[in-house]
Amino acid sequence: MDDFYTEVPRALIATARDYASGAIFPSHGHARGQFAYAAQGVISVHTPQGNWLVPPQRACWVPARLMHGMRMHGAVTMHNVFIAPDAIARMGLPSDCQVLDASPLLRQLLAGAVSVEALYAEESRDGRLMALLLDEIAEARALPLNAPLPQDARLARLCMELLQQPSLDSSLDAMAVQAGMSRRTFTRQFRAQTGLAFAQWRQQACLLAAITRLAGGQTVTRVALDLGYASPSAFTAAFRRVLGQAPSDYLSN
């Protein structure tokens, strides 16, 4: 994806591409950090450490040289900003993969940046636009739209199975039995390896699935009940806590 930028002597290079639903990029890496913004559609990103989901008008930060794959859910318009290592260090950009919110200003800057030539004059309006874009990327707020994978092979296998069929009905006790661990050992190992309690991880896995299903046209009620929420209102409350808007508003956007 967009490897021409590697030797361009500019801190930022911005591109825009359209992708068909279901398009897949196998695991790969970039010499620069990648800020991948979903102007339209949903993007899922996977690395050896876990899975991230990028809703419309949000973005994913992928550090330089991190191996990652991508899949498009629905027709996707992706705006990419590839950032040179020295600019990453100067701005203190994250060393791990993250889903990021995009402020209204950041969205407008991205819309303008994709029209800027790769070899823009750094002291020109285009250069100032790109400098402000870098500032806004560095200020973007992280969103908990990921499901980190444990290092333990047994736990990782169970988590991958749950990502394939997520449900709030998946109990901690049942997972512990399948892993061949006591409840206490499972709880301790799961938190140590993912940074989350199992209930938190399960909630995030369900939310990732919900975003993909909503993007595919499923109704809020169907998504809520299929994922094990007590009611559509309970699902809406959980959705709003993370994304700051109700699923109906998300769909209309």
pLDDT at 252: 63
pLDDT level of residue 250 (50, 70, 90 thresholds): confident
Number of residues that this document lists for the chain: 253
Cβ atoms 170, 178 nearer than 8 A: no
Q: Is 98 exposed, middle or buried (0-12, 13-18, 19+ CB in 10 A)?
A: buried
Q: Which of 150, 137, 157 shows the shortest CA–CA distance to 201?
A: 150
* CA 231 – CA 63 distance, rounded (Å): 38
Sign of CA dihedral 98, 103, 106, 112: positive
* CA 208 – CA 157 distance, rounded (Å): 18
Say which residue, 156 or 243, is predicted with more confidence: 156
pLDDT level of residue 150 (50, 70, 90 thresholds): very high
Amino acid identity of residue 241, one-letter, is R
Domains and their CATH numbers in the chain: 3-143 (2.60.120.810), 147-252 (1.10.10.60)
The distance between the two most distant Cα atoms of the chain, rounded to a whole number of Å, is 63
The CA–CA distances, whole Å, from 224 to 1, 56, 187, 200 equal 35, 20, 26, 17
Q: Are strands 98-100 and 142-143 parallel, antiparallel or unpaired?
A: antiparallel
* Residue 1 clears pLDDT 60, i.e. is over it: no
> From the CA atom positions of the chain, what is the Rg in Å?
19
Report the interhelical angle of 104-113 vs 125-139 (nearest 10°).
140
Helix (H) or strand (E) holding 19: strand 12-19
Q: What is the pLDDT of residues 180-238, one digit of tens each?
A: 999 999 999 999 999 999 999 998 899 899 988 988 889 999 999 999 999 999 999 98
Q: Which residues contact 173 (CB under 8 A, 6 or more apart)?
A: 183
* Residue 103 clears pLDDT 90, i.e. is over it: yes
Say which residue, 7 or 95, is predicted with more confidence: 95
